[in-house]
Amino acid sequence: MIRFLIRLAIFVVSSALGLLVTSWILDGFTIHASGFIVAVLVFTVVQSVIAPFVATMARRYASAFLGGVGLIATALALFIAQLFPGGLTLSGVSTWVLGTLLVWLISALGTFLLPFWWLREKRRSRTASPEA
């Protein structure tokens, strides 16, 4: 259960980082402060639910698209997240394309790198306070 909660936290944080950094880089990609938490949670839930479905469909019907599963799932999650008012706004085709790429890349890197950072901090705290 603890591992599940840690992975969930890492996924939420990496999604938040992906959305925030992308909003700082792209002009047409806007996250409103009032709806930031809702946008992150909706994006994270949709991404985690839709990615396995897209992977199964790609494997079954179009195996050539397996490499793009993460990008497709990210685009769908962004689309659904922007349907909730007051959170996420994307305008323009280039913003959709670049936004999908950036959010996918940043959240994928975050999901990969955050566990290493967390484990390093955990080790550091254990060695700093030896048990008596």
75-130 per-position pLDDT tens digit: 999 999 999 888 899 999 999 999 999 999 998 888 888 877 777 777 777 777 66
Domain ranges of the chain: 34-115
pTM of the full predicted structure? 0.79
- Confidence (pLDDT) at 64: 61
User: What is the pLDDT at residue 130?
Assistant: 61
Query: What's the rounded Cα separation, in Å, for the pair 43 and 37?
Result: 10
Phi, psi of 27 (to 5 degrees): -65, -40
Provide the pLDDT for residue 99.
94
What are the strands, taking DSSP E only, across 32-105?
Answer: 88-90
The residues, ordered by sequence, that sit 6+ positions from 66 with a Cβ below 8 Å of its Cβ are 55, 58, 59
